[in-house]
Amino acid sequence: MGNNSLSSKTKALLSGNILALTTAICWGLNEPANKIIIPSDISAQAVALCRIFGAAVMVWLISLFTKKEAINRSDWKLLWLSSLMMLGFIYVFSLAFNTASPIDIAIILTFQPMLVVAIHALFMREHVGRLEALGMLIAFTGAILVILGGGSVDSGRFTGDLLAMVCAVTYSVYLVLIEGPSKRYGTVTLMKWVFLLAAILSLPLVFTIPSHGKALCEISLRPMLVLGFIILFPTVYCYLVTPLAIRRIGSEILAFYQYLVPVVATVVSLCMHLDSFHWYQPVSFAVIVGGVLLANYAKAKKVSASGSCRERIQ
């Protein structure tokens, strides 16, 4: 009996690590994949809308084979707001590739965990200790270094990097908004509604697709395969399996895998000659990761201290 329990735990840990690794690789490939087709083959607006509509269709098809869950009336407002943030993230993320470096974008998005902490502190009145605040400040400095460094190389990169920062903010707001519903509903149920509502909200953006661009039927096979990869893996696969990975290995271990994303994006972008390497990129990445680790250490220390206090009181 004990051996079976140990075996199931080992399998859960192994599968959780595999899921975390594959999501990190898929997200790392997402930046160079977008750069390959934007704007040379497909407009940024078309890619964004294809991601949203494609993901909505695929997740709804998957939901046909899963347990049906009813959404509480009180949660619909949160789902609409979450969908708006998801739409903003995907749409602006695609626009960033018109001018930004895929390596810069991957590094800037590493700053997201600190933005989530900042949103909790500003709007939910959560206490942030001095060491935690210092870690947030250091990580923010790293993100600013990317933007300024990109601007020193090319003014277009500066604009794209600013858009990437907007992406990080909108996705962080999405994570905060979706936190409550994610504890009440299954991942497939949640994501099918998020993507469907995002698709509905995105309908006016159809008119932003450049009229001089190619129709999807006119695009060659290679860009279409890349677009299919973007919809299937970094969008559908990653959003569906990340909660499973968290349940099996915990969010702390998953967070460490996310540091592989800029590494994968950098290696692939350089190998495919999609970007050039600049001194500020590894420096800013190290600063952001250092800030995030310091903040996480401070938070873990605070949680441990509060736990000890509760034990003494009991």
Taking only the tens of pLDDT, the chain with its 314 residues reads: 555 655 788 888 899 999 999 999 999 999 999 999 999 999 999 999 999 999 999 999 999 999 999 999 999 999 999 999 999 999 999 999 999 899 999 999 998 888 888 888 888 777 888 888 899 999 999 999 999 988 877 777 899 999 999 999 999 999 999 999 999 999 999 999 999 999 999 999 999 999 776 666 778 899 999 999 999 999 999 999 999 898 888 877 888 888 999 999 999 999 999 998 888 999 999 999 999 889 888 877 766 665 544 444 43
Which residues are within 8 A (CB) of 247 and not within 5 positions of it... i.e. 6 or more apart?
16
Q: Is the pTM higher than 0.75?
A: yes
Burial 126-154 (b: 16+ CB within 10 A, else e): eebeeebeebbebbbebbbbbbebbbeee
Q: Using CA atoms, how far apart are residues 24 and 238, in angstroms rounded to an integer?
A: 8
In angstroms, the CA 288 to CA 137 distance is 9
Residues in the chain: 314
Which residues, including other chains, have CB under 8 Å from residue 73's CB and lie 6 or more apart? none
The shares of helix, strand and coil residues in the chain, as percent rounded to the nearest 5, are 85, 0, 15
Residue 300 makes CB contacts below 8 A (sequence gap 6+) with: none
Q: Which of 75, 82, 95, 100 is nearest to 239 (CA)?
A: 82
* CA angle, 48 then 50 then 54, to 5°: 125
Long-range contacts of 67-76 (CB under 8 A, 24+ apart): 67/186, 67/189, 68/189, 69/185, 69/186, 69/189, 71/185, 71/189, 71/193, 72/184, 75/180, 75/181, 75/184, 75/185
